[in-house]
A and B are shown apart, each in its own frame.
Chain A
Amino acid sequence: MGQDSAKVFRKLLSPIQLGDVTLKNRIIFLAHWTNFGNNHGYQEDGLASERLAMHYIERAKGGAGLVCVTQSVSPGGQMGRTMVHAHDSRNEKVFRFMTEEIHKYGGKVFGQFNHQGHTSCMQRPPFRLLAPTQMPGPHCYVNTKEIELDEMEEIKEYYVKAAVQEKEWGFDGVELKIAHDGLLRTFVSPYLNRRTDQYGGSFENRMRYPIEIIQAIREKVGEGYPIGIRLCMDEFTDWGYSWDYGVRMAIALEEAGVTYINSDSGCFSNYNMEIPNNYIPMSFGVYMAAELKKALHIPVVAFGRINDPVQAEEILADGNADMIGMCRQLICDPETPNKIMEMRLDDIRHCMACSEGCGLVTTQEGVVCVQNPAAGREKRLGIGTLEPAEIKKKILVAGAGIAGMKTAEILAKRGHDVKVFEKNEEVGGQMLLAERIPYRAEMSEVYRYLRVQLQEMEVPVYTGCELTEEKIEELNPDIVIAATGSKPLMPDIESGDVTLLNPREAMEHVEKVGEKVVLIDEVGYWQAMGVADYIGSVGAEVTIVTKEYYPGKDIEETCQEILYKRLLKNGGKALVKSRLKAVTGSTVVLENVVTHEESRIENVDTLIIAGQSSSDNELYKQIKSKGDREAYVVGDAAAPGTVLRIIFEAEELARRL
C-alpha cells in the first residue's frame, strides 16, 4: 500500500472537538434538502421516512465524521411539504433509528434547523410566508407577511423544543441555518430587514433574533452541546451583502456562544451561487473560510465544491479552515471518506457539479445523482447491496460509452466474466464531445471513474475493435449487451448555399463551422445550447431558434441561465417561438409558431440542426432475432437520453443479470 493515509491526510483524518462532541475526522456531510420526507396530506406531512434515514446513514457508513440533517423547525417552517419536521414527535421513531445507525458507524449527527421564512419557490402553491419586512424574496413574486413579535416568540420556542427533543432522540448537536433562504437570513440581511423595532434598523438589532434563539437553545441544552451556524457569507446579489458583512456576523455569533461557523454563500435570488455548478471552480469558497479563520477562534468549516481529498487536506494544512464540508461529493460517492482512509484515491468518484441529478430535489424524484444510482435509493442500491451473481456468465458488451462501461462495471463487480468492445480509439462515447463544451471539462469524470473501475476489475476493454456478429459467434458468450449509442438524425431539407451540420459534426469538425450560424434547437438540451456555446467561443455568431419560450428547456436550471448569458455575451441571440421554414441561398427563413409571421436571417453560412438522435442498435436487433443467446440493449442504443437515466438503467440491468 505504500503510504499511510493518516500521514498523507494528517489533518483531514484527524479528530476535532466541537463542544463536548468529538468528530472522528474533518469531513462533514453538509445539510441539504432531500425531498425524501413523506407527505400524507395536510398536517400529515413533514414525516420522516425510511428513505430519508437511509440517505444519511449511508453517508455515515461511508465514513463521514459528521452528518447534518435538514429539518423544518416549526409547523410553518417547511420549504416544501416533504421537509421533515424537527419539532414533530411523530418523527421520533425514525430519527432514533437514524441516529443509532449513524453512531454505529462512528459518525455523529446534527440536526439543521430551518425556517423557510420568505422562501416559496420550493412549494407550489406557496404557503403564507413570513419575513421581517413585507416584500417578496425577491427571487419570486410571492409577497410575505411582516412577522409579528408573538409569531417570532412562538418560532423561537419551537427552535428550543426541537433542539431539546432531538437531543433526546440521539442527535449530537444542532446547526441553525442563517444561509440560503429562510427566516433567519432575512433578519440579518440589511436589504430584506427594514424593521423599525428592536429587531431591525442596525447591525445589532438585525442580529438580535438569531442570537436570542441561540441563547434560548443554549440555556436548555447546556454548555457542551454544540450549536453551530450555517452562515451565508455573501448573498451574491447586487443588493445583497458581501463577505465582510459575513465576517462581522460571524464575530457577533461567536460572542453569542456559538460552537462553530459553517461557511456558505448565495441565495435563491442568485440560484447559481446557491448551488454552484460546473461553471464555478472547485474549492472556490475557501477564501470565505480563510477570512473567518483570521477573525474567529472557534472552528470554521470550508465549503464550495470541494470534491477532492488532496485539495481538502491543503485547505486544512494551510490553516484556512478546520473542517471540510462536502455535500454533493458525498451524494455522488458516499464512500469518499473510507476511500481516503484506504488510500484508494483513484477510486473516488468526483462530483462534477452538473446539478442534473441533485437539481431534481424540487421534483417528485428528490435528490438523485447522475453518477450514483444509489443516491436516494440507498435501501436497494446502497453500500453493501450488490449481490454476487448466482451463476457466473460470460458477457460481451458492445460499446464503451458510459452505458456500456457502467453495465460492465456492475457486471464485473458481481463476478461475471465481462469483455468490452469499442469501435473507436477512445472510450467515453458522447461524453468526449460533452466535455469539450466550455467549462464542462469535468464531465470526463463519468468515464474516467468507470475506466478505472474496469481496470481494477481487470475487465479487458478492446478499443479500435468493433463487436461484430462474427466475433460474437467466435467468442460464444452467454449474454450480449448492446450499448452502441445513437446517431444524430438530420431532416431532409434543402440547404441552399448554407453548410448543413448536425451538432456532433459541428464540434468534431469545427473548421466547417462558419462565422454566421443559425442553430435550430429541437431537443431543448445540451446538443443545442452547449454546441452554441462551443462555436460561440471560437468566434461564430450564433442565432439559436426554438419553438419554446426559451432555448434549452430541458437543461438544468442553473446551467440554462449561464448558457443564455454566455450566448448573449458571445454576440449571439435567441429567437423563441419560432421554427425553421426554409433555406434559400444564404438566407434562413423562420416562422413564428403562433403568428406564422416569417422572419429572415441573411448571409448565413452554417445551419446546425440539433435534432433528435436515433438509436444505433442494428447489432442488438440481429442478435435478438437470431435468438440463440440473451441480448439486452442499454443507453442511447435503447432510447437516446441523459446521463442520469442511462447510468441508472445500466446499473439496474447489470444487477438483474
Chain B
Amino acid sequence: MLEYKKENCSSCGLCEKVCPFGAIKIQEGFPYIDDNCTECGICAEKCPANAFCVEQKETGKQQTEEYRGFWVVGLEKEGEPLNKVTLELLSTARKLADQKKEKVTLLIKGLQEREDWKREAQKTGCDKILLIASEYSGYDAKLYTDAIECAIRRFKPEAVLFPATVNGRDLAPRVSGRVGTGLTADCTGLSLDENGHLLQVRPTYGGSIMASILTPKHRPQMASVRPNVMEIQWTDEKREVKVEYLEDFSSVAEDRVKLIGCIEKNNAFADLAEANIVIAGGYGLKNKENFGKLFKLCDRLNAAAAATRKAVDEGWAPAEIQVGQTGTTIAPDLYIAFGISGALQHTLGMKNAKKIIAVNHDPAAPIFDICDVAVLGDAGEVLEECCNILENKKA
C-alpha cells in the first residue's frame, strides 16, 4: 500500500515530476494521487521529506539463500535437437551462474540420455540435464507444470528461464501460479544486481518504456525470453554434463484437453517482422505462378515472404506481406529481392536489412544502389533455378 503522510510533505512538487506514470498532480501545493498509481514506489524513494511510505508486509518471506542454481526449461520433443532459443537461454544462464559460482541445469522432457543433447549442452556450459520422464510425446501444460513444480520443490533453483515461444508463454505463468512466485515475460535483458538478485528488463507500453523488474523475496525467480534476443556463447570448457531423471514424478497429461488435429501453416506467412530471412517478390516476377514458387521456397527454407505494393496490387501476394512505406518495415538478417526495382517507397521499408541480395533484369534498377550483392538476370528464371537447387538437394 502506498501511504502519503501530509504532515511530512514540504510541497516541493518533486513527486509529480518523478512519477513515471503521471499519477501525481500537485493541487494546492500537495500531491493528489490518482488511479494510475501502480505503487512502483519511486516517489517514496525520491521524496526528500519522507512523505511517502510503501508498506512492506513481511509475510511470505522465503529463505532465498536456500535457492541455488540457474535453470532453463526446454520444450523440445523427443528426437528433436535442442532449439536455438534453448541454447541462447543456456548461454545466458551460464553467464549468470558464473557470477555466483552456481550451476546450470536444463530441464527437458525425455526418456533416455541423448548424446547430441549432452554435446550441445556442454558447449553452452550446462552442468546437468534433468529429464522429465514421460511417455506423452507432445506439449501438455498440466504435465509440464506438475513436473516443473516437483523439480522446483526438490532442487530449489534460484532462477528458471523459459523460452517465450507460444508454448513457453503458455506454460511459464501456470508454473509461477503453481509455485506462487514472480514471472517476467519477454525479457530483453537479464543480469544480477548488487544483491545478486536477477534484474529482469523488458519493454512495456508498446515498447516506449523499459522496465527493470526484481523478484526480491520469492523463489525461484522466473523469466521468459523470446528467441533471437540473447546470444549463444559457446564455451570450450571440458565440463561433464550429468544426466538425471526427475524422481518422485509421475503425472499424466490433462485428460480434459485432447489434441485432435494439427494443420501446418505455410512458413512463408509466419511473422514477417520477426523473420531472420525474408524472400521478397516484386513486379518483375511478372505473374502469380512465380509468386507461388516463391511462397513454396519460403516454406521449405523457413523464410518469410514479402512483396512490393505493385505485386500486391496485382493480386499476386496478400496485402499482409507488403513491405514499404505504406506496408511493414522490417530488418531481417538477409533480404532477397526478386524482381523488385527498388523505388524508395519499397526500400524505405527494408533498408535496415543486414544483407541485401537483389535480382533484377534492369541494370538501372535503383535497388542495385543499395544492395550488397547485385544479380543481373530475369527474376523468375533465377527463382526457378533456386527451386531446382532445393529439389536436387532433397533428392
- Mark A residues whose CB is within 8 Å of B: 281-283, 308, 310-311, 346, 436, 438-439, 441-442, 444, 448, 452, 510, 534-535, 537-538
Once the chains are docked, how many angstroms separate the CA of A390 from the CA of B326? 41
Interface stretch (choices B71-79, B167-175, B224-232, B340-348)? B340-348
> B313 — which chain A residues lie within 8 A by C-beta?
346, 448, 452
With A310-B326, A311-B326 known as contacts, the answer to whether A281 contacts B364 (CB < 8 A) is no
| B180 contacts chain A at the CB level, 8 A cutoff | no
Contact A442 B326 (CB under 8 A): no
| B212 contacts chain A at the CB level, 8 A cutoff | no
When C-beta atoms are compared, the residue in chain A nearest to B362 turns out to be A436
Min Cβ gap B79→A in Å is: 43
Once the chains are docked, how many angstroms separate the CA of A549 from the CA of B303? 55
Contact A282 B345 (CB under 8 A): yes
Contact B344 A281 (CB under 8 A): yes
| B366 contacts chain A at the CB level, 8 A cutoff | yes
Given pairs A441-B345, A510-B364, 16 additional interface contacts (CB within 8 A): A281-B344, A282-B344, A283-B325, A308-B325, A308-B326, A310-B326, A436-B362, A436-B364, A438-B366, A439-B366, A442-B343, A442-B345, A510-B362, A534-B364, A535-B364, A537-B364
Once the chains are docked, how many angstroms separate the CA of A441 from the CA of B362? 13
Contact A538 B325 (CB under 8 A): no
Once the chains are docked, how many angstroms separate the CA of A281 from the CA of B326? 13
Nearest first, the 9 A-B pairs at minimum CB distance are: A441-B343, A310-B326, A538-B363, A537-B364, A281-B344, A538-B364, A308-B326, A534-B364, A311-B326
> B343 — which chain A residues lie within 8 A by C-beta?
441-442
> B344 — which chain A residues lie within 8 A by C-beta?
281-282, 439, 441
Once the chains are docked, how many angstroms separate the CA of A448 from the CA of B345? 15
Contact A441 B363 (CB under 8 A): no
Min Cβ gap A299→B in Å is: 21
When C-beta atoms are compared, the residue in chain A nearest to B322 turns out to be A310
> B363 — which chain A residues lie within 8 A by C-beta?
510, 538
State which residues 292-313 of B face A: CB under 8 Å. 310, 313
Once the chains are docked, how many angstroms separate the CA of A535 from the CA of B327? 31
Contact B325 A282 (CB under 8 A): yes
Min Cβ gap A161→B in Å is: 44
Mask of B331-358 contacts with A, CB within 8 angstroms, 1/0: 0000000000101110010000000000
Mask of B349-383 contacts with A, CB within 8 angstroms, 1/0: 00000000000001110100000000000000000
> A308 — which chain B residues lie within 8 A by C-beta?
325-326
Contact A441 B341 (CB under 8 A): yes
> B326 — which chain A residues lie within 8 A by C-beta?
308, 310-311
When C-beta atoms are compared, the residue in chain A nearest to B309 turns out to be A448
Once the chains are docked, how many angstroms separate the CA of A538 from the CA of B363? 6
Once the chains are docked, how many angstroms separate the CA of A283 from the CA of B325? 9
Contact A281 B345 (CB under 8 A): yes
With A281-B345, A281-B348, A444-B310 known as contacts, the answer to whether A438 contacts B325 (CB < 8 A) is no
The A-B contact count (CB < 8 A) is 40
When C-beta atoms are compared, the residue in chain A nearest to B369 turns out to be A537
> A538 — which chain B residues lie within 8 A by C-beta?
363-364
Min Cβ gap B167→A in Å is: 31
Min Cβ gap B209→A in Å is: 14
When C-beta atoms are compared, the residue in chain B nearest to A452 turns out to be B313
Q: Mind listing 10 A-B residue pairs with CB under 8 Å?
A: A281-B348, A283-B325, A308-B325, A308-B326, A311-B325, A311-B326, A346-B313, A436-B341, A439-B366, A444-B310
Once the chains are docked, how many angstroms separate the CA of A339 from the CA of B364? 35
Min Cβ gap B54→A in Å is: 32
Once the chains are docked, how many angstroms separate the CA of A644 from the CA of B344? 25
Min Cβ gap A411→B in Å is: 23
Min Cβ gap A317→B in Å is: 10
> B362 — which chain A residues lie within 8 A by C-beta?
436, 510
> A283 — which chain B residues lie within 8 A by C-beta?
325
Min Cβ gap A298→B in Å is: 20
Once the chains are docked, how many angstroms separate the CA of A438 from the CA of B341? 10
Min Cβ gap B240→A in Å is: 53
Once the chains are docked, how many angstroms separate the CA of A534 from the CA of B364? 7
When C-beta atoms are compared, the residue in chain B nearest to A284 turns out to be B344
Min Cβ gap A313→B in Å is: 10
Once the chains are docked, how many angstroms separate the CA of A538 from the CA of B369? 11
State which residues 82-111 of B face A: CB under 8 Å. none
When C-beta atoms are compared, the residue in chain A nearest to B366 turns out to be A438
Once the chains are docked, how many angstroms separate the CA of A444 from the CA of B282? 14
Min Cβ gap B313→A in Å is: 6
Min Cβ gap A472→B in Å is: 29
> A537 — which chain B residues lie within 8 A by C-beta?
364
Min Cβ gap B362→A in Å is: 6
Min Cβ gap B43→A in Å is: 25
Min Cβ gap A437→B in Å is: 9
Min Cβ gap B345→A in Å is: 6
Once the chains are docked, how many angstroms separate the CA of A283 from the CA of B348? 11
When C-beta atoms are compared, the residue in chain B nearest to A539 turns out to be B363
> B366 — which chain A residues lie within 8 A by C-beta?
438-439, 441
> A444 — which chain B residues lie within 8 A by C-beta?
310
Once the chains are docked, how many angstroms separate the CA of A401 from the CA of B91? 61
When C-beta atoms are compared, the residue in chain A nearest to B313 turns out to be A448
State which residues 144-164 of B face A: CB under 8 Å. none
> A439 — which chain B residues lie within 8 A by C-beta?
344, 366
Once the chains are docked, how many angstroms separate the CA of A441 from the CA of B325? 14
Once the chains are docked, how many angstroms separate the CA of A282 from the CA of B345? 7
Min Cβ gap B217→A in Å is: 39
Once the chains are docked, how many angstroms separate the CA of A441 from the CA of B327? 17
> A310 — which chain B residues lie within 8 A by C-beta?
326-327
Which of B345, B348, B364 neighbours the largest number of chain A CB atoms within 10 Å of its CB? B364
Once the chains are docked, how many angstroms separate the CA of A442 from the CA of B325? 13
With A311-B325, A444-B310 known as contacts, the answer to whether A438 contacts B364 (CB < 8 A) is yes
Once the chains are docked, how many angstroms separate the CA of A441 from the CA of B345? 9
Once the chains are docked, how many angstroms separate the CA of A537 from the CA of B369? 10
Min Cβ gap B316→A in Å is: 14
When C-beta atoms are compared, the residue in chain A nearest to B310 turns out to be A444
Once the chains are docked, how many angstroms separate the CA of A42 from the CA of B72? 87
Once the chains are docked, how many angstroms separate the CA of A282 from the CA of B327? 14
> B348 — which chain A residues lie within 8 A by C-beta?
281
When C-beta atoms are compared, the residue in chain A nearest to B327 turns out to be A310
> B364 — which chain A residues lie within 8 A by C-beta?
436, 438, 510, 534-535, 537-538
Min Cβ gap A449→B in Å is: 10
Once the chains are docked, how many angstroms separate the CA of A150 from the CA of B363? 63
Once the chains are docked, how many angstroms separate the CA of A281 from the CA of B310? 17
Once the chains are docked, how many angstroms separate the CA of A40 from the CA of B364? 51
Once the chains are docked, how many angstroms separate the CA of A448 from the CA of B311? 11
When C-beta atoms are compared, the residue in chain B nearest to A279 turns out to be B344
When C-beta atoms are compared, the residue in chain A nearest to B344 turns out to be A281
> A438 — which chain B residues lie within 8 A by C-beta?
364, 366
Which of A311, A444, A452 neighbours the largest number of chain B CB atoms within 10 Å of its CB? A444
Min Cβ gap A333→B in Å is: 15
Once the chains are docked, how many angstroms separate the CA of A179 from the CA of B345? 28
Min Cβ gap A569→B in Å is: 13
> A535 — which chain B residues lie within 8 A by C-beta?
364
Once the chains are docked, how many angstroms separate the CA of A442 from the CA of B326? 14
Once the chains are docked, how many angstroms separate the CA of A283 from the CA of B344? 11
Min Cβ gap B241→A in Å is: 49
Once the chains are docked, how many angstroms separate the CA of A310 from the CA of B345? 13
> A448 — which chain B residues lie within 8 A by C-beta?
310, 313
Once the chains are docked, how many angstroms separate the CA of A281 from the CA of B343? 10
Once the chains are docked, how many angstroms separate the CA of A438 from the CA of B368? 12
Once the chains are docked, how many angstroms separate the CA of A613 from the CA of B344? 31
Min Cβ gap B323→A in Å is: 13
Min Cβ gap B370→A in Å is: 13
Once the chains are docked, how many angstroms separate the CA of A448 from the CA of B344? 18
> B327 — which chain A residues lie within 8 A by C-beta?
310
When C-beta atoms are compared, the residue in chain A nearest to B343 turns out to be A441
Which of A308, A441, A442 neighbours the largest number of chain B CB atoms within 10 Å of its CB? A441
Once the chains are docked, how many angstroms separate the CA of A439 from the CA of B343? 7
Min Cβ gap A631→B in Å is: 32
When C-beta atoms are compared, the residue in chain B nearest to A455 turns out to be B315
> A510 — which chain B residues lie within 8 A by C-beta?
362-364
